[in-house]
Amino acid sequence: MPVNETSMIESTDQGIYPPKPLVQDRESNPYVSAIISLLLYAAFGYMLGGGSVVTMVALVIVLLIHESGHLAAMWFYGYQKLRMLFIPLMGAVAMGNKQDVSDKEDSVILLAGPLPGILLGYVLLFLSVGSIGDGIPFFTNDGSVSTEHFSITDPLMYGIARLFIILNVINLLPFFPLDGGQLFRALFFRTGFVPYFIFAVVSLGFLLLIFSGNLTTVVLLVVFFGRPLYNQYRAQAFYKALKQQHVDYRKTYDELSDRDFWLMRDALPAYSNSYNYIVPDQFRIFPNANAMEIQAIRSLLERRYHQDLGAAGKIFFSALWLLSLLSVFVTDYILPGSIGILERLGL
């Protein structure tokens, strides 16, 4: 990220502020980036997943369809610079740029990832099983053999179907940064951080309680869910400091004034102790900002959200979310053991 600075000084009624650093993003081919990250993801997954090519290919297909749903919705709503990246050991992410976003757009984009995968999973599931109770032996989730469930006519299709359903339903759980957690924030917690933070902490605590017997899982949950939540909490002190200075941080970097940039830099210690070396107002003497500071400021700039969902809209999207989650229980009841949720819950 090359940084170019000039010696020009801008005069305002609040004081004299040097021009903010000009940032030129290096444009990379999104297709090349996606392919390289996909290959790295597949390689890591193959080595750590027991060397099963079929499983890794199936997982990549599930992630591709999931993220493609997000990208299609982003494209429909006019997002720019669309791209997809695979993250080894974690999954994939769809990205795009748009400054002004409505709650309706956000909700559609968030559901456009998991819902198509869940629907496709159910289609494949019902195509891959035979009749219930036909007496053909079937291996249940706990490894025992049962003749009371159903027959699997296509084991490969059945396995892929379960992967589609389980991964996408998990993604709808109301935990940030999963799609379900982001959807809850878009529908109910956009205007206030404290209610959302309480909800997120309680949800994470409940999840940790469920997996309290597995230390590895607990550590992964804390890293994956707890760390982003902690970063959001620290960011609130940063935003509070900006509001006291009347700094508008809901804009793009290009829209950011020189004054607001330097005041945001001065407020970075409120976000992270890594920036405690910053001395307030020192920029007037030494107008320097390093790449790490600039990147932090850019990442902390927020989009402008427009609340365009009334009660009916929130009920509609909430119903879609709830039906998608409950579908696994219904399917497990119709085809006992097909998903394995009821068995794991002892129902």
pLDDT of amino acid 284: 72
Is 219 within a domain?
A: yes
With tokens 């960011």, the residue in question is: 235
The amino acid at 226: G
pLDDT of amino acid 150: 63
C-alpha 39: how far from chain center: 21
- Is the bond preceding residue 177 a cis peptide, omega within 30 degrees? yes
Is residue 86 classed exposed, middle or buried when 0-12, 13-18 and 19+ CB atoms within 10 A define those classes? buried
Domain count, the chain: 1
250-308 residue pLDDT tens: 988 888 888 999 999 988 998 888 888 888 887 776 777 788 888 888 988 888 888 88
Mean pLDDT for all residues in the chain: 79
171-204 residue pLDDT tens: 898 877 788 988 988 888 877 788 888 888 888 8
Domain that residue 196 falls in: 192-304
Distance CA(339)–CA(166), nearest Å, equals 8
Asked whether residue 345 carries a pLDDT value surpassing 70, the answer given is no
Is 84 within a domain?
A: no
Band of the pLDDT at 338, cuts 50, 70, 90?
low
C-alpha 146: how far from chain center: 39
Per DSSP, the three-state class of 12 is strand
With tokens 């970097």, the residue in question is: 253
77-113 residue pLDDT tens: 999 888 888 877 677 888 888 888 888 999 999 999 9
Is 234 within a domain?
A: yes
Is 160 within a domain?
A: no
Distance CA(239)–CA(250), nearest Å, equals 10
User: Tokens for 320?
Assistant: 């879609």
